Structure 1
């Protein structure tokens, strides 16, 4: 109902489980899929993985209760472009669909903080080596650090005293240089490079 009522959005299909979502992704060719995680037949993580690996060009936003959901990182690895928390305001959900449709990744601040904490903890436990980022400039490294901290392009521009267009250009360059599919993968790369630490 919420999507149908939005003048600039069109609902092209609804699926009752992950397997049906995979089929509809091909049949209806949506720009964006809002994917629940806990579903019968096939869960949202596996459905996301199959859709991303298939012919559909849809961007996937995972819908999660988050506080009791242990699958956020798995969904990122499966190729999700963003996360929505189920208690978000309806207008925020619609805005998130528009953002992802425009080609940007989207992480709710609470999700970003959780990922930082969990990833930093796991990296410490594994004593994993820090990923080297030799292909990017010092300024691009600054931008990547801010992306990893969950800042939007506008916030990055304000933080580094840049124009929004320049900030967007830096993000585009990072996507290309680091061979990242979307902004969410840049967040992961920032963690893996040790640019973002666990919040206090």
Structure 2
């Protein structure tokens, strides 16, 4: 059985769990508090999550890499559309975008918000990152157009990746998405697979 290691409530790990639920894959969850125990660092010396163990041979970190691995190794699945090159390319782009343009902007913003001295919470770097995140969210909204999903009118890895990034911004930093992005989030989070994964991510 596969095991997904994660922080309790960590939305990067939720990406992997949500995908497993959509694909009907069996998995276990090992949730941790912070900092992770030394035993976990034997699996991942960086101490970051999520991490996937699949059998005795596969140990994989990085949430987007885990998603692509699951879709390709335990697929095929319509969640990674491969028949049409344009849809495949767009899915890859947006799956990576959810981490590089949304998720990675959040890491230093979270550090500034929760750990920086008051004098440093609104420094030049924070202002720049907030503007970068705003551009990414605006681009996501424009790219949705009249569709409910980012690629081909159906749920794909792209939506899972982007939605979890937006969810981190909302939950940890109190972000207020536009009405269109709020509808997008609500529609995705109403999916039974998301709800099952969310409960497991929270340790329930």
TM-score (norm 2): 0.27
Structure with the higher helix share, 1 or 2: 2
TM-score if structure 1 supplies the norm length? Answer: 0.27
If asked which structure has higher relative contact order (CA below 8 Å, sep 6+), I would say 2
